[in-house]
């Protein structure tokens, strides 16, 4: 059941201190005062190991939660739907938006881009034609707001790391310079994570109207893998990327299953086969 004006979903999942500590084992930062933060964006950063007194880094999550009613309240005005239909509509949108992804930052923005794909197909199949333009505008607006919020959070964490690294004696010049460069890139919308998000959105736009969804979707996941690995055989990174791909398949299957799209939209996962094998 939905309650008008109270359908909230956090931008990022909660992350405990013990989840973060493994990323800091080779860092001069030995302690964290942390409650909620997306720390995966620093997973692949290499910090110098220098024996110095512990430094406490305070990180807070960017404020703001997305209320889907802010974007999709027009559904209440669609005369074709009764109250039960509307409740299902809101619930389906909420489920798509709510999905949290574990892994690197690119996986999180990939999930935001995939949410737009899901809701676009939702619009094409279920929203009356007279309301589809409004629906598509709402999808794009929410996508932009969620990505912007993610970039702001990313920048906020970078800035706090920059401040901490600069305050050490002696400061870590290479790390400080690298962080300063990334902060400027986010401000100029040229950061790698922003470029990646634009690429993912473009890929998903290309397969919205496909008549061979499963094949085209799997090709999109393959492009994601190639883009992230860049020819590397790093086993840890390969595991992270494969885990994200599996999470994305599961996200899609939950969405498509709720709307009963049919087997032609079913993706194979570790636990579900899209092939109907009959004796």
Domain boundaries, the chain: 67-265
Q: Which of 58-67, 116-125, 159-168, 265-274 has the highest mean pLDDT?
A: 116-125
- pLDDT for residue 131: 95
- pLDDT for residue 26: 37
**Is the per-residue pLDDT at 67 higher than 70?**
yes
**Is the per-residue pLDDT at 44 higher than 70?**
no
Query: Angle 104-108-110 (CA atoms, 0-180°, nearest 5)?
Result: 110
Largest Cα–Cα distance of the chain, in whole Å? 71
106: its two tokens: 């690119």
CA–CA distances in Å: residue 245 to residues 3, 49, 211, 225? 33, 33, 21, 8
- pLDDT for residue 172: 81
**Is the per-residue pLDDT at 115 higher than 60?**
yes
% of the chain beyond a pLDDT of 90: 42
Q: Which band of pLDDT confidence, cut at 50, 70 and 90, is reported for residue 9?
A: very low
List % helix, strand, coil for the chain (3-state, nearest 5). 60, 5, 35
**Is the per-residue pLDDT at 7 higher than 60?**
no
**Region 8-19 average pLDDT:** 38
Q: How far apart are CA 188 and CA 176, in angstroms?
A: 19
- pLDDT for residue 201: 96
Answer yes or no: are the C-beta atoms of 27 and 15 closer than 8 Å.
no
**Is the per-residue pLDDT at 187 higher than 90?**
yes
- pLDDT for residue 73: 93
Least confident of 21-35, 61-75, 91-105: 21-35
**Is the per-residue pLDDT at 250 higher than 70?**
yes
50 by DSSP, 3-state: which?
coil
Q: How far apart are CA 59 and CA 35, in angstroms?
A: 8
**Is the per-residue pLDDT at 139 higher than 90?**
yes
Helix axes 192-206, 129-167, angle to 10 degrees: 160
Answer yes or no: are the C-beta atoms of 61 and 12 closer than 8 Å.
yes
Answer yes or no: are the C-beta atoms of 94 and 182 closer than 8 Å.
no
Answer yes or no: are the C-beta atoms of 154 and 183 closer than 8 Å.
no
């Amino acid at each position: 059941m939905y309650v008008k004006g109270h359908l909230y979903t956090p931008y990022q999942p909660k992350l405990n201190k013990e989840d973060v500590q493994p990323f800091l084992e080779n860092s001069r930062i030995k302690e964290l005062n942390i409650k909620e933060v997306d720390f995966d964006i620093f997973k692949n950063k290499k910090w110098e190991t220098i024996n110095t007194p512990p430094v406490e880094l305070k990180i807070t999550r960017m404020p703001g939660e997305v209320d889907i009613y802010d974007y999709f309240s027009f559904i209440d005005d669609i005369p074709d739907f009764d109250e039960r239909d509307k409740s299902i509509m809101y619930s389906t949108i909420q489920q798509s938006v709510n999905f949290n992804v574990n892994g690197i930052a690119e996986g999180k923005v990939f999930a935001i881009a995939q949410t737009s794909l899901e809701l676009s197909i939702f619009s094409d199949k279920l929203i009356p034609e007279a309301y589809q333009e409004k629906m598509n505008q709402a999808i794009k607006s929410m996508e932009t707001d969620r990505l912007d919020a993610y970039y702001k959070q990313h920048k906020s964490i970078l800035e706090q790391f920059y401040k901490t690294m600069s305050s050490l004696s002696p400061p870590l010049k290479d790390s400080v310079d690298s962080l300063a460069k990334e902060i400027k890139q986010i401000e100029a919308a040229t950061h790698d994570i922003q470029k990646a998000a634009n690429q993912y959105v473009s890929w998903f736009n290309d397969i919205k109207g496909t008549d061979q969804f499963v094949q085209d979707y799997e090709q999109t996941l393959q492009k994601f893998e190639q883009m992230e690995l860049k020819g590397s055989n790093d086993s840890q990174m390969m595991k992270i990327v494969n885990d994200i791909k599996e999470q994305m398949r599961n996200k899609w299957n939950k969405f498509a299953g709720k709307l009963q799209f049919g087997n032609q939209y079913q993706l194979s996962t570790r636990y579900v086969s899209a092939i109907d094998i009959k004796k």
